[in-house]
């Protein structure tokens, strides 16, 4: 009888093991997907759908950075046309101040609203960076804050972020009103590098900064597409981005870019403003991305796959 009871006990153990092990195997892929811990600090990069050029908001905790938050209007700056979708988005996210504001060049879809945004969110120590020695005359003086010239090779720490300017090559006649005057700079957070380009990437950027511009994690693609206008296929292949954010609603440049994606030689994830507001989230190790983001919401989105080795 005792032997019978032991036999029954062993059968029950085997049955339970058979029931539990497959369930564990099914759950293992889900449990293997990383997610940030509740107390981890996250960098959030918003590409805001303003209807034309680039508009980026970066936040890490309470540290806030704007890049090219312009307008969809081509009216002169003196007309003071406000871009309400931009303002509504910033309000929905809960922005109450700006620490840094990068303006890549002096075109309305990139520089417009600097004065208004500084009035709303600027402080005495807010720094506005541009590609020219002086602030564009139509925007001067700033209501508050400080203007500084950002030049090729400038490297500094801003709050929790590392900033490196990689273009354009400094020249005395740079006036900031041409596409090729656009600032190119890299923001590093943890293991991730984000490259912002405005409207243009000079060939010399990849040549002069080969290590820094290789294997970029997130690229804000130039507004007007691939060569001959703003970026060469060789430079794009060298950057080999994992995630490409394409600004603007113009179908032509986006279609042109899609046609040329084979130049990269690897599979990357491409998101355009046709996908609405975009959100990229980084914990310094992992990257997530989401499209069609509702202003004020912060979805984690999909995990960006790791870089494919050669």
Core vs surface per residue 59-97: b (16+ CB within 10 A) or e: bbeebbbbbbbbbbbeeebeeebebebbbebbeebebee
CA dist 166 and 186 (Å) reads: 7
What pLDDT, on a 0 to 100 scale, did the predictor assign at position 310? Answer: 54
Most confident of 36-50, 120-134, 171-185: 120-134
Rounded to two decimals, the pTM is 0.84
Task: Look at residue 192 and tell me whether its pLDDT is greater than 60.
Answer: yes
Which parts of 13-130 are beta strand (E)?
Answer: 43-47, 56-60, 63-67, 100-102, 127-130
At 30-71, the pLDDT tens digits run 446 778 877 779 999 999 988 766 799 999 999 999 999 887
pLDDT category, 74, cuts 50, 70, 90? low
Q: pLDDT (tens digit, 9 = 90+) per residue, 207-248?
A: 999 999 999 999 998 877 666 667 787 888 889 899 988 886
pLDDT tens column, 266-296: 567 888 777 889 999 999 999 999 999 999 9
Spell out the domains of the chain, with CATH numbers in brackets: 43-293 (3.60.15.10)
Any idea which of 31-35, 80-84, 97-101 has the lowest mean pLDDT?
80-84
Strand 218-220 relative to strand 243-246, pairing: parallel
């Amino acid at each position: 009888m005792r032997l019978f009871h032991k036999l029954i006990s062993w059968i029950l153990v085997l049955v339970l093991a058979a029931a539990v092990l497959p369930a564990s195997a099914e759950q293992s892929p889900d449990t293997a997907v990383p997610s940030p811990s509740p107390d981890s600090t996250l960098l959030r990069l918003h590409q805001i759908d303003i209807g034309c050029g680039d508009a980026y908001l970066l936040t890490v905790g309470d540290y806030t950075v704007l890049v090219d938050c312009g307008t969809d209007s081509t009216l002169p700056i003196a007309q003071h046309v406000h871009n309400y979708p931009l303002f509504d988005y910033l309000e929905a996210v809960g922005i109450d101040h700006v620490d840094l504001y990068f303006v890549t060049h002096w075109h309305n879809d990139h520089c417009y609203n600097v004065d208004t945004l500084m009035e709303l969110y600027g402080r005495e120590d807010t720094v506005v960076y541009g590609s020219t020695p002086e602030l564009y005359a139509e925007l001067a003086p700033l209501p508050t804050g400080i203007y500084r010239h950002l030049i090729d090779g400038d490297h500094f720490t801003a709050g929790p972020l590392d900033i490196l300017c990689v273009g354009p090559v400094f020249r005395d006649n740079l006036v900031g009103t041409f596409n090729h005057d656009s600032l190119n700079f890299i923001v590093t957070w943890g293991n991730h590098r984000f490259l912002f380009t405005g409207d243009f990437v000079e060939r010399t950027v990849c040549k002069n900064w080969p290590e820094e511009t290789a294997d970029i994690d997130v690229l804000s693609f130039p507004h007007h597409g691939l060569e001959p206008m703003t970026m060469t296929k060789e430079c794009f292949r060298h950057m080999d981005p994992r995630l490409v954010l394409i600004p603007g609603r113009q179908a032509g440049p986006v279609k042109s870019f899609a046609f040329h994606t084979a130049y990269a030689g690897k599979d990357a994830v491409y998101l355009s403003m046709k996908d609405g507001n975009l959100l990229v989230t980084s914990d310094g190790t992992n990257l997530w991305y989401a499209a069609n983001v509702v202003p004020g919401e912060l979805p984690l989105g999909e995990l960006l796959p790791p870089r494919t080795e050669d």
